[in-house]
Amino acid sequence: MKIICVIPARAESSRFFEKPLALINGRPMIQWVYEHCCEVDRFDEVLVATDADRIREVAEGFGAKVIMTSSDHDTATERLYEVSRRVEADLYVMVNGDEPLLRREAIEQCIPADLDPDSFYVSNLMTDFTNPVEVVDATNLKIVTAADDRCLFISRSPIPYPKGSLDVIYHKFVGVGAFTRKALDFYHDTPRGPIEKVEENDSFRFLENHQPIYYYNCHCKSLSVDTPKDIAAVEKYLSEQN
């Protein structure tokens, strides 16, 4: 089974311009992500997918293979779809370019041991919240799954609501997802639904149309970078971990 890893990286972020190039301990964030992805033995290839020449130049400067994509994509998944039309593979694993702390052990948990490449398959990662403040932060997606890891619902609101018991562990989205070509074709060919528009979460492209997606708990440290202040938190964590 041929598996390629794609790291989407766009420059035009409204909250953080050229976010992938933000320096973390002197190195661009996209380099941290790329190097961790290169540690995954099951990846046949690791690509940076961008629409910005500046990101391409920096990525190629540290040895990454870059594929230039359209600037018209609204989501990272749509950028991944474009890559899937140009690069042949059985499974496409997308690792968000704003997850500099994700290591090989976590990323690998999104890859199935066995898979029919012609099937519909989508999996993602989640982890436990450790800070209660993050649970009420709308920038963090909360995940609820069934006993077999199939996703039931995703929300920016805290779910499930602790009415009957306080004995609940909240789970947050981690920026890694795996897709077969059939799943990416479905995503591209299906219009956005009302819940996707309200929550601004494109996983609902599948959920609203009764297509299964799975979330596996990688029990990892995840500090996604959304604003410049998050860089300080990442550097503090790295310093504490030496």
pLDDT given at position 222: 83
Say if CB 129 and CB 220 are below 8 A apart. Answer: no
Question: Distances in Å between the alpha carbon of 207 and those of 91, 109, 187, 201, 210?
Answer: 20, 21, 11, 11, 5
Is a pLDDT exceeding 90 seen at residue 51?
A: yes
Q: How many CB atoms lie within 10 A of CB 107?
A: 26
pLDDT digits (tens, 9 = 90+) for 104-151: 999 999 999 999 999 999 999 999 998 889 999 998 999 999 999 999
Please give, one letter per residue, the 3-state secondary structure of 101-162.
CCCHHHHHHHCCCCCCCCCCCEEEEEEECCCHHHHCCCCCCEEEECCCCEEEEEECCCCCCC
pLDDT given at position 241: 84
Split into its structural domains, the chain has a count of 1
Question: Distances in Å between the alpha carbon of 126 and those of 129, 175, 222?
Answer: 9, 8, 9
Is a pLDDT exceeding 90 seen at residue 164?
A: yes
pLDDT given at position 16: 72
Is a pLDDT exceeding 80 seen at residue 14?
A: no
Taking the chain, what is the end-to-end CA distance rounded to the nearest angstrom?
37
Structural domain boundaries enclosing 202: 3-240
Q: Mean pLDDT throughout 48-75?
A: 95
pLDDT digits (tens, 9 = 90+) for 77-113: 999 999 999 999 999 999 999 999 999 999 999 999 9
Q: Mean pLDDT throughout 206-219?
A: 97
pLDDT given at position 101: 92
| Mutual angle of helices 53-61 and 29-38, in 10-degree steps | 50
Q: Mean pLDDT throughout 1-9?
A: 96
CATH classification at residue 122: 3.90.550.10
Residue type, 64: A
Which band of pLDDT confidence, cut at 50, 70 and 90, is reported for residue 197?
A: very high
Q: Mean pLDDT throughout 20-47?
A: 96
Q: Mean pLDDT throughout 224-234?
A: 86
What whole-number distance in Å separates Cα of residue 27 and Cα of residue 170? Answer: 32
pLDDT given at position 70: 93
